[in-house]
Structures are given as C-alpha cells and as structure tokens.
Amino acid sequence: MAQFDTIITGGTIATASDTFDADVAIRDGKIVALGHDLGAAERVIDAKGKLVLPGGIEAHCHIAQESATGGMTSDDYRSGSISAAFGGNSSFVPFAAQHRGMSVTETLDLYDSRAEGASVIDYGYHLIVADPTEKALQDELPAAFARGVTSFKVFMTYDLMKIDDSQFLDILSVARSHGALTMVHAENSGIIKWISDRLIAGGHTAPRYHAISHPAAAEAEAINRAITLARFVDAPLLIVHVSTPEGAGLVAGARLEGAKIFGETCPQYLFLTKEDLDRPGMDGAKFMCSPPLRDTATQDALWRHVQAGTFSVVSSDHAPYRFDETGKLANGPEATFKQIANGMPGIAARLPLLFSEGVNGGRITLNQFVALSATNAARIYGMHPRKGTIAIGSDADIAIWDPSETRRISVENQHDNMDYSPFEGREVTGWPVTVLSRGEAVIENGALVAEPGRGRFIHRERPDFTGYPGTQTPELDPAWNFGAEIN
C-alpha cells in the first residue's frame, strides 16, 4: 500500500509568510509532509509551473438566506458551494440569519437543514442577531458558541434588522465573555432614511439614487460609533464591507492603538464604481449593494488600505438576487431604489480578481494574497491552523493556481445560480484549476468532481486575538458584572 493518499509535486507553495518549492503529501485528509522525494502515493498531482496555495475561505456570503422582507438568495448550499469551489475556495462561512420572532436555536437548526447534504466544501455560519432577547443573550448565544458558531453579526441599519446601541453593547459583551467575534454592517440608518425620503418625494427613484442615499458620512459615523462601543467594552469587532477611505481610516486608527478591530472590504469596492448604477433602464439594479459603489479615487484609497494591512479579509459579500421577478425585479420594472434587493454575486470572482489585479498587478505580494484570501479569515474566525494554511497537521484544503492563465469573467464560468455577473467581460490572469478539500478533489483541471453533501460543518473555536492588547475602560469595573469579563 502506498505511503500517502496524494502527493502534489513540483509546485511552488505559498503561505501567508513564505514561498518555497516543495511537494505536499496528504494522508487521511491532512497534510502530513512537505519536502522533496517524499515517497509513494495513490495519486500524484503534477503542479509544475503552478502555485500551491491554501484553499480560499470565503467569509462573507449570503447563501439560502431570506432577507427580512422575504426575498430568497438565488444560491443554496449546493450551487453556492460549487461556485465558491470554482473560485478557488475550499471552505465558506455564510450567514444564518435570525429574524425577529425567531429564536437563535431555531435559526441554526434551519440553516443546518439547508446546508446538510448540499455543500461540496466545508462550511460554518456567522449568526446574524436581529432579536437579542434576554433568552438569546443569556442562553442562546452561549449555546451557539458551544455549537461552533463563534461569530455574531449585527446590523446598524435596515429597519427590520437593526439593533440599537444598547443592544449592540449587550451582544458585544456576551461575545467578549465567550471569546466570540462580533461583525457589523455599519451605516447610519437615520442619514440614509432622511436622504432617501427626500429623493423619493422628489421623484428621484432610479437605481443611481441608491448611491446618493448612502453617503460616505453614513458609513463613517456608524463605523466610528461601532468602534467606540466595542472599545468601551473591550470586545473584538470586525467591520464588514468597508467602502470608504473615511471608514478604512477609522479601522486603521483603532488598530494602530492596539484595539481588537478588524476590517473587511470587497472586490466590488475595488473594481466597480457608482457609474455602474447609471446604466440604462433598470440595469443599474444589478450593481446595487449596501454600502454602495463609490468612485475611482475611493478604489485607489481602499487598495492602499489593502496593501497597508488595514483590511484583514477581502470577501465577496456574495448576495445573489437574479435580474428577474425572483430577485432584483420582484417589485416590478418601476420599483424605486428602496424597493430593490441589495447585493450582488461574486463568490467565484473574488479570488481571480484579487489575484490578477493584486498579485499580477503588483499591488500586493503573493503572501498577502494568501493572508487576505484564507489565513486571516481562519485566524479571526477560529479555524486556524486546521484551515487557512499549508502546514503539517492542517486539513489538506488546497487550491492549485495557474498564475499565467488568462480568462474573461462571465456569468457562464461563475457556476452560480445567477443570470448576470457584475464583473462580466473583465479579463483576469491567474486562475484556480484544482481545488482539494480535506485531500479530496472538488475541482480538478477546471471540472467539478465532487458530490454535493461531502462538505462538513466546521465546528469553529474561539478566535485567537494574540497581539491585540485592547483597552480596559476604567468605568467598567468587572466587579460590577457587566458581562464583559473573559470567562
């Protein structure tokens, strides 16, 4: 019997810190040796001329998720995971969305039933908390944590989802006491409502007004408030989909001061602009997301923050709503910008875009690419070193990239359940050709070779925030039992 199940030979391995030529030996789904002339294997994958990278971890995507107003994303765990795998990902962490009136346990059970038997890659959930009842705070969030769901997301906007500052403090405190990470959609709801009401009253209803109704100030104010609240109780916080230099600057400033504040941006803010919302008819609806697309100066500034390390992750925020009556056009062709589902697809495009413009374009190193696409997410979300790196003992979650293959992104090669790609026609160089998950091929030479249902739930651990000292707020004496002390 061969010593190993699989050996990947002749490739160049890159981790978040190192790049080196070595073979990778895999047994029982784990990486068991790195080196040369490792021995015999059942299967040999020739990676000569290719990059052998940790499989991507897509840490912000909406899969089989209803919005608060009832719209369902077009991708389920089958199609969403397949699209993610084609895009070089070997794990993903969609949201399990609690809506008001639902318990947390009911929410997680529902998403378990949606994911089980469907996914081709490993998955976890971030729990969206929209109804932080006393029972949820006391019992259900700790139970979710014990169940391996170690990140909670809250919204500061959207009428049916948003929580107030005191509820935010409650959730941050519970998260802190269990070592969980809170994530936040940070936009000032009052500013958005105030402008939107005036625009609609004035007959300005087209998709382009969506961008005007979500100004940079709305993001900056909410990020500032969110960081202030998190620092007040010394809780870790990740600001999702940061879209402005103002917001990124606030994240960078807090990080410089040692606060446990993390930032995420998304390809749409690096590659698209609000001009895309101005397309004829309702076509601009395809480019509506919140926060909205900005301008080219913003793109440049956000790229600099990517380079400088402000952002720990670049995620897709894949929120797929088709351009038909099941999605973007559910309220008809005359719908106002307030009545159109927010979000756009991009789970398969995230890494090719980031690799092409980032690595091949000379904006970031290959090691930064690995950190942004996999390793940082694994650390922040409690999966490291099982996932997100190439090391002995880690899961053999590996993406083999051809760094010189040039493709055009098209809805046809995204393999999601969408009828458009916002990145249609964009040329990228660098393409993931083979993806392994726990040593099993999911994508092999550009074809799907895995069965839905092979993906397993990732029971995540407490994230490691070593290196972020945080700050104790003097007014918060732990003896007063604010729930903010670490267990």
Is residue 199 within 8 Å of 259, Cβ to Cβ? no
Is residue 133 within 8 Å of 94, Cβ to Cβ? no
Q: Show Cβ contacts of residue 270 under 8 Å, excluding neighbours closer than 6 positions.
A: 299, 302, 303, 306, 314, 353, 357
Query: Considering the complex, what minimum distance in angstroms separates the CB of residue 149 from ligand URP?
Result: 18
Measured from the CB atom, the residue of 318 and 379 that comes closer to ligand URP is 318
Using CB under 6 A, pick the residue from 81, 98, 244, 290 that binds ligand URP.
290
Measured from the CB atom, the residue of 317 and 402 that comes closer to ligand URP is 317
Q: Does 342 bind ligand URP (CB under 6 A)?
A: yes
- Exposed e or buried b per residue across 162-178, where buried means at least 16 C-beta atoms within 10 angstroms of its C-beta: bbeeebbbbbbbbbbbb
Measured from the CB atom, the residue of 147 and 241 that comes closer to ligand URP is 241
Interaction pattern, residues 239-268, with ligand URP; x per rule: CB under 6 A = --x---------------------------
Q: Among 108, 60, 48, which residue's Cα sits nearest to residue 84?
A: 60
Q: In terms of DSSP bridges, do strands 311-314 and 261-265 run parallel, antiparallel, or are they unpaired? A: parallel
Interaction pattern, residues 152-191, with ligand URP; x per rule: CB under 6 A = ---------------------------------x------
Q: How many residues bind ligand URP (CB under 6 A)?
A: 9
Query: What backbone torsions phi and psi does residue 286 show, to the nearest 5 degrees?
Result: -65, -20
Measured from the CB atom, the residue of 45 and 319 that comes closer to ligand URP is 319
454 burial type by CB count under 10 A (0-12 exposed, 13-18 middle, 19+ buried): middle
Token pair in block for residue 408 = 């055009």
Q: Does 185 bind Zn ion (CB under 5 A)?
A: yes
Q: How many CB atoms lie within 10 A of CB 381?
A: 27
- Contact partner at residue 286 from ligand URP, Zn ion, none, CB < 5 to 8 Å by partner kind: none
Measured from the CB atom, the residue of 54 and 284 that comes closer to ligand URP is 284
- Contact partner at residue 157 from ligand URP, Zn ion, none, CB < 5 to 8 Å by partner kind: none
Rounded to 5, what percent of the chain is helix, strand, coil?
Answer: 35, 25, 45
Q: Does 87 bind ligand URP (CB under 6 A)?
A: no
- Exposed e or buried b per residue across 413-447, where buried means at least 16 C-beta atoms within 10 angstroms of its C-beta: bbbbbbbbbbbeebebbbbbbbbbbbbbbbbeeee
Query: Considering the complex, what minimum distance in angstroms separates the CB of residue 320 from Zn ion?
Result: 11
- C-alpha 195/C-alpha 187 separation (Å) is 13
Using CB under 6 A, pick the residue from 55, 343, 352, 388 that binds ligand URP.
343
Query: 317 — alpha (psi -120 to 50), left (phi > 0) or beta?
Result: left
Token pair in block for residue 82 = 């397949």
Query: Considering the complex, what minimum distance in angstroms separates the CB of residue 229 from Zn ion?
Result: 17
Interaction pattern, residues 298-337, with Zn ion; x per rule: CB under 5 A = -------------------x--------------------
- C-alpha 258/C-alpha 253 separation (Å) is 9
- Contact partner at residue 322 from Zn ion, ligand URP, none, CB < 5 to 8 Å by partner kind: none
Query: Considering the complex, what minimum distance in angstroms separates the CB of residue 98 from Zn ion?
Result: 15
- Contact partner at residue 437 from ligand URP, Zn ion, none, CB < 5 to 8 Å by partner kind: none
- Contact partner at residue 320 from Zn ion, ligand URP, none, CB < 5 to 8 Å by partner kind: none
- C-alpha 178/C-alpha 381 separation (Å) is 13
Q: Does 289 bind ligand URP (CB under 6 A)?
A: yes
Q: Which residues bind Zn ion (CB under 5 A)?
A: 185, 317
Chain positions contacting ligand URP, by CB under 6 A: 62, 185, 241, 289-290, 317, 319, 342-343
